[in-house]
């Protein structure tokens, strides 16, 4: 009784191999050309999806890089203008770091250049240019 129960116990819902006819198998089987067509369609779809993902990610990267570049450029320009204005003496020194060079340049020009110009005989230069 137990031996009969074990042998007749259904293991799966699939029908027995002997009961599947060749016609039923051929009805659901694919030919090599059909399989190749399915594979090429799947590959084309995967490549199209990958290209779309690449385009989206590159657009996001370009947008983020543009924003970062604008922030860095604005900051650099602001610091440059701040340094230039401090160097010209328009903005007062920060933390006792005096970088004002305008007064030093004016003193050098007044002392050195004007003294050297006074040493040159202008009459001689003017006479040699008009001859």
The SS3 assignment for 97 reads: strand
pLDDT digits (tens, 9 = 90+) for 32-73: 888 888 899 999 999 999 999 999 999 999 999 999 999 999
Residue 3 lies in a domain: no
* Cα–Cα distance list, 96 to 37, 60, 93 (Å): 78, 45, 6
pLDDT digits (tens, 9 = 90+) for 112-123: 777 777 777 766
Q: Are residues 124 and 80 in the same domain?
A: no
CA distance 78 to 57: 32
Q: Are residues 93 and 39 in the same domain?
A: yes
Q: What domain range is 107 assigned to?
A: 101-131
Number of domains in the chain: 2
Mean pLDDT for the chain? 80
Burial of 89 by CB count in 10 Å (0-12 exposed, 13-18 middle, 19+ buried)?
middle
pTM: 0.49
Residue 12 lies in a domain: no
Residue 4 lies in a domain: no
Q: Are residues 90 and 124 in the same domain?
A: no
Q: Are residues 109 and 93 in the same domain?
A: no
């Amino acid at each position: 009784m137990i031996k009969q129960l074990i042998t007749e116990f259904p293991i799966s819902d699939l029908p027995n191999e002997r009961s599947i006819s060749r016609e039923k198998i051929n009805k659901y089987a694919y030919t090599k050309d059909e399989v190749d067509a399915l594979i090429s369609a799947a590959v084309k779809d995967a490549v199209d999806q990958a290209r779309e993902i690449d385009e989206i990610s590159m657009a996001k990267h370009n947008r983020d890089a543009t924003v970062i570049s604008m922030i860095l450029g604005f900051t650099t320009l602001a610091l440059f203008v701040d340094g230039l204005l401090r160097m010209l003496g328009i903005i007062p020194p920060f933390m006792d770091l005096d970088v004002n060079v305008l007064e030093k340049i004016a003193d050098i020009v007044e002392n050195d250049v004007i003294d050297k110009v006074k040493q040159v005989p202008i009459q001689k230069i003017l006479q040699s240019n008009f001859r």
